[in-house]
Chain A
Amino acid sequence: MSSDVRDFIMGYLELAGQEVRSDNGCYVVRLQSDPDRVHAITFSSEVARWGQCELVALGSPFLSGILEDTRRRGVAAARLPSADPEVALSSMASGTCRAVLGTVEEIPRTALKLYYLLTYTSNRRSQRFVEVALDESGQEAAWLYQVRHYMNDDGPKKLGAKELEFVLDRSTSILKGRVDQELKGLKDESERLLADAVDRIQSYYAQLRDETRNEAEFARSRAEGPSPSAKGGVARAGISYEEAERLVAEYDRLEALEIGRERARYGVRTEATIVGVLLLNYNVLRCHVGLQDEEVSREVIVDVLPNGVLDPQIHEADR
């Protein structure tokens, strides 16, 4: 844990170009955001305990500040290198059939990779990352999930508010499908706990109502005849019917209140926080390919994606 935190902080300081001096486990740092202040930090509990350095750990103000600053910078653009069309097309050749590459046209495309942190909260909480990749038409671009190598992109890139809204809307639909499956286990557990809690509350208030009405009955019979013996050694005062009904109504109110609270406690809430956005520019290679075997020859058009995979749709070229 502490080495993860150290790597993260050092990564941050390096990226931010901050000067760091270290001395016996204590690091002296000045942040650009607050240049007047010098921070003496450490990643070692021992150093923090005896020195004058702040331990950087979960919950420490220094780490919280750095986390927040980093998380505001989770928007990047990248370019995907194009695949080698010759290699990609080699899969089209089989047996006596040969694929001969003709002209290649570059078609610029944009895609978006959205990184979400999914949080399921009931009385407990679990979190996990989800990526949703969409092409510019809003279709899920499953091939992008395998792509891990990007190049920095300095070219023009901007997405309009409407386009973004459209893409986010689409990504929400995709998320929903995934959430449904994952939620099931958590919901089953929560529902079991909720059922136990509701059972407990209902039987408690049912018991209270019974006892209250018995007390009223006891009072009435005592008023009409000789006193029945007390049960279980517990003193019984007896109450009027009016008082009993007032109490029963109060129990009804409290029962509803308590059950409502339990539902709120065990209801599963799902939150998807956008934690990173990657705008991807790439070229689809539209290849004119001649397919030839011993008897027939045809020309087709295939699109080659940056990961070298052929778009499944093959078009016949105009003759």
Chain B
Amino acid sequence: MPTDDEPLGVDSQGSAIRITDVFGLGRSLIAGRFYPLSWLELCLKSYFITIQPETGALLSGPLLGTRIEMMSHQVSAALKVRDRMNGRALLADEVGLGKTIEACMIYKEFALRGLVRKTLILTPPALVSQWHEELRTKFLEEFTIASGPGRKLIDFGSHEKLIASIDTAKRPGVKERLCSVYWDLLIVDEAHRLKNSRTLNYRLARDISSTYLLMLTATPIQNGLAELYNLVNLVRPGLLGSRLEFQSRFAADSKGRRVTNQLALQRILSDVMVRTRRKETGLPFTRRFSNTVRLVPTEGEYRLYNAVTDYVRSLYESLPEARRIRAAPDVFLLITLQRQLASSTPAISKALRRRMERSTPEGAREIDGLLKLSSLVKEDSKMIALKELVGATSGKALIFTTFLETQEYIRASLENLGLDVACYSGAMDDGERQRSLNAFREGAKVLVCTEAGSEGMNLQFCNLVVNYDLPWNPLRVEQRIGRVHRIGQVNDVYIFSLTVRDTIEDHILDLLYEKIQLFQLTIGDLELILGDEVRRIEPRIFRSFMENDRKGAKRAIEELGLDLMGRKRRADSAKGRNDAIFEAVNLSPLEEG
């Protein structure tokens, strides 16, 4: 009997014909397990539904149309990649036009057609979870994350749909295993990280074999045309000839920052590259207005903040040096404690109580003193401000916090005002979350949300975001705003961030986020600016505060702010170079109909 993977027979031209029995019909026949004729008829009909013409509309269209807003530039790009690029393409839409969705649409299309099973997605470490969630919630696709913080490296052999960070994938031992598989589809997000052909990133992508390849970047050119050459060479080796030939044919200056023979370049690139510009889409791109509500702490809040910060500092100082430098779990726990302090009094109180249960009698006495201070804070200044803010707005408000205790505190406080409040968190199951979203869409004035599990939400009907507490990771801030400020939002978006003066969050907001105008940046912008630095920001901020006095800490944050400003300038220049070059080389799928 053939199994579902056993090749049988060879045709006269030497090609193997594999006979498969995926549903064990042969076994049923031998066992005498027969069904009425009508089942056989229905069974054959089931295949007629799934056999589709090779071209035509996207098979995934009807399903995805109810889950995501499919933009015409995304559909055109997906069709072009499917029908004219043999599934190998550089997706280089400008920032904010939904390249991830575009790539997922192509993946889904190929998967439904049975062309793709083994799929590997390589992303920057900070975007691994986001890809996982987008695929799960919007495309109903369950991918496995190869590894990550707190995760063991999984066995690659038993998973056909993998997401791995580029850093994990290039590790010795991992790379060899990934390269030993012939993948149906390889997706590389933020592919500008492969710009240099001498780097491990580039070699990783070059050495992984795949039938189809999608590389995503808004800035295929960082410094000059040579980087575009390298990326295209991965998609279709040799298409642009040798590097020397390419440079002499298309670079108008020695650095390759200006292009000549635009039409010839356009003709060649149009076989492998799609780039839609914002202005071509006709989509409304609304603005963001950021407001900081900087509050003066009450006496009780001031004393609690200083006492807990001193306590956290003493814990930090008691750590061995080696565990302070690396992003060790101890440090993350202390960062969390510090952030709970800034989040709300209920959040820090609960964290302290939990800590007390595990403490020595001496440690418990110290914590007890802190808890006494916390009990003196009757209502957080931020809560008073929030009530005023929500009371003054006529529309709906999306309020973010990182912690469940704070979420509950906000819910209870706003409900006491008689407001209709819905909650959404990673602790809920899918059904509860859906009911909360429906409640917010249909009636509730406020949705109080934690970041966990919120990646797939589309809340364009709301245009007011409140950061009740502030993530130290800029990517998290953008992910919050991105829930409402995305394609499909027709109103300007207002963002309010609540901080208490002279706290760490206050300095982060003042010296870091406002310097780089964080609230104006999209996730693509942030990736371009921060790159892998994004993972280091949180511990860097924390160390600045733990190892310096207040002035020194502010100085350190200021330095970090200057560093990010420099990065932002470089990213802006790179964007400018891409804009200039692709103004002349048009690769929009829209204009081809």
Contact = CB atoms under 8 A, between A and B. Distances in A.
A124 B12 contact: no
B392 interface: no
Nearest to B34: A77
B49 A4 contact: yes
Contacts of B254: 233, 235
Contacts of B42: 8, 11-12, 15, 70, 73
Contacts of B38: 15
A265 to B, nearest CB: 5
Contact of B2 (A55, A159, A168, A175): A168
A180 B12 contact: yes
Contacts of B49: 4-5, 8, 58, 67
A187 B434 CA distance: 49
A179 B36 CA distance: 31
B384 interface: no
Interface size class of A (residues with CB under 8 A): 35 or more
B211 A265 contact: yes
A5 B54 CA distance: 19
Contact of B20 (A115, A164, A272): A272
A271 interface: yes
B21 A161 contact: no
Interface string B12-44: 110111111111111011101111111110111
Contact of A275 (B36, B44, B209, B239): B44
B17 A274 contact: no
Contacts of A8: 42, 45-46, 49
Given A59-B63, A70-B46, A277-B26, A75 B35 contact: yes
B210 to A, nearest CB: 8
Contacts of A201: 237-238
Given A52-B438, A176-B9, A183-B11, A74 B19 contact: no
Contact of B32 (A4, A158, A269): A158
Given A52-B438, A208-B242, A271-B18, A72 B23 contact: yes
Contact of B66 (A48, A74, A78): A48
Interface string B47-64: 111110010000110111
A273 B22 contact: yes
A164 B1 contact: yes
A279 interface: yes
Interface in A137-176: 150, 152, 157-161, 164-165, 168, 172-173, 175-176
A2 interface: yes
Nearest to A125: B115
Interface string A188-222: 00000100000011011101100100000000000
A278 B44 CA distance: 11
Contact of B26 (A55, A168, A200, A231): A168
Given A8-B49, A168-B1, A203-B238, A76 B39 contact: yes
Contacts, number: 241
B11 A76 contact: no
B37 A74 contact: no
A60 B36 contact: no
Most chain B CB atoms below 10 A, which of A1, A165, A276, A278: A276
A261 interface: yes
A275 B45 CA distance: 10
Contact of B39 (A74, A232, A233, A273): A74
Interface string B221-247: 000000000000000111101101101
B34 A279 contact: yes
B140 A61 contact: yes
Contacts of B30: 158-161, 164
A45 interface: yes
A48 B115 CA distance: 28
A49 B69 CA distance: 11
Contact of B63 (A11, A60, A121, A279): A60
A164 B37 contact: no
B25 A75 contact: yes
B584 to A, nearest CB: 20
A207 B64 CA distance: 45
B211 A264 contact: yes
Contacts of A276: 25, 40, 43-44
A234 interface: yes
A268 B62 CA distance: 30
Interface in B127-162: 140
A126 interface: yes
A193 B84 CA distance: 13
B242 A204 contact: yes
A277 B25 contact: yes
A307 interface: no
Contacts of A187: 13
Interface stretch (B92-100, B106-114, B334-342): B106-114
Nearest to B64: A59
A57 interface: yes
Interface string A61-74: 10000011011111
A121 B16 CA distance: 12
A176 B20 contact: no
A127 interface: yes
Interface in B168-212: 182, 206, 209, 211
B325 interface: no
Most chain B CB atoms below 10 A, which of A61, A121, A275: A275
Given A269-B18, A274-B19, A67 B50 contact: yes
Interface in B435-456: 438
Contact of A161 (B1, B8, B65, B111): B1
Contact of B18 (A61, A173, A183, A270): A270
B220 interface: no
Nearest to B248: A232
Given A119-B114, A204-B241, A55 B66 contact: yes
B291 interface: no
B86 interface: yes
A281 B12 CA distance: 34
Given A58-B62, A168-B26, A264-B211, A76 B34 contact: yes
Nearest to A204: B238
A117 interface: yes
B589 interface: no
Contacts of A208: 242
B61 to A, nearest CB: 9
Given A61-B140, A164-B30, A261-B209, A126 B54 contact: yes
Interface in A32-69: 45, 48-49, 52, 55, 57-61, 67-68
Contacts of A203: 238
The 10 A-B pairs of least Cβ separation, nearest first, read A204-B238, A74-B43, A76-B40, A232-B248, A57-B62, A48-B66, A73-B39, A57-B63, A158-B32, A73-B35
24 contacts: A4-B49, A11-B45, A12-B42, A45-B65, A58-B59, A59-B59, A59-B60, A59-B140, A129-B51, A152-B37, A160-B30, A179-B17, A205-B238, A231-B248, A254-B206, A269-B15, A270-B16, A270-B17, A271-B18, A271-B20, A275-B25, A275-B44, A277-B26, A277-B29
Interface of B: 1-2, 8-13, 15-26, 28-30, 32-40, 42-51, 54, 59-60, 62-66, 86-87, 108, 111-115, 140, 182, 206, 209, 211, 236-239, 241-242, 244-245, 247-248, 254, 434, 438
Given A74-B25, A203-B238, 13 more contacts: A7-B45, A55-B66, A60-B63, A71-B43, A74-B43, A76-B39, A127-B114, A128-B51, A176-B10, A200-B239, A264-B182, A265-B211, A274-B19
